Structure 1
Amino acid sequence: MALTDYVSEACTALQQEAGSWEEAVRLAGGLLERQGHIDPSYTEAMVNMVKELGPYIVIMPGVALAHARPENNVMKNSIGVATFRGGVSFGNESNDPVYAVFAIAARSDEEHLKLFRALAKFIAEEENVERLKQARAFSEISF
């Protein structure tokens, strides 16, 4: 599966502002909620994961992968993408500030891995991450 199978323009918000990492994660999750892909409880679970385990979701400079365990609160496998023009601090000294938050929602552990694999291919290319960071329109990003 390619990333284009999981990301849509409706689930993307570019050049946003957030006052905290929590606001950034909620914004990314909210994109999926509005499309009916997840229940609000999944967004809460993503926030709680960071509160409990720390900023482990910031996996490389400028990029956070927000996710949670599916508990019948994911209706469609999808990825919400939010970028932040000023960056957001998650408390990860090596990789802050975060400019892109991906909210990853999968219905099962197996499907979760498929989404992560598709996303890993995309973020492994530095130019993709840079293009995403600078994008002002969905058409400027090559998922």
Structure 2
Amino acid sequence: MATKRRRSSSEGAGALGCGPLLALIVIGLLIQYWWVLLIALGLVTVTVALVRVATAPPRPARVRPPKPARLPKPRPVMTPPDPALVGDDLADQMRAAKQVRHIREMQEWDYEWLRLTNPEKSSRDLSEIANAHFARGRSIGINHGDPSVP
């Protein structure tokens, strides 16, 4: 005859055994130490990201489109300062500046005289007449342009 096998005490009515108890212990530890798990998960994530970045092939360099060539701005022409004048040189320069100023004033006055006496002429014609007088060294307003009269 067949012999009966004996069942262990863990089988049968207590089929679940200590499984639910272990699950409750694990859940209790998760609830109590959730912050430790978050820190560990963060460290693992950072480590994985660093490994992926280190092993990834380098990205191609970004090339900017070339800027259109600009010509440098012209700098104003500056004459070097003249040396300081003393005595006769200074007097000569003052006389020359006064004469140039006088000649320019006379030319302006002559142009105005021509403009007033010839209102029908264009400014181009007036400039030609005035330049012809200036080239001869004449002044229209003084002795009517006759250099021989003092």
TM over 0.5: no
If the length of structure 2 is used for normalisation, what is the TM-score?
Answer: 0.20
**Structure with greater proportional strand content:** 1
In terms of fraction of residues, the more helix-rich structure is: 2
Relative contact order higher in (CA < 8 Å, ≥ 6 apart): 1
TM-score after normalising by structure 1:
0.21
**Higher Cα Rg: structure 1 or 2?**
2
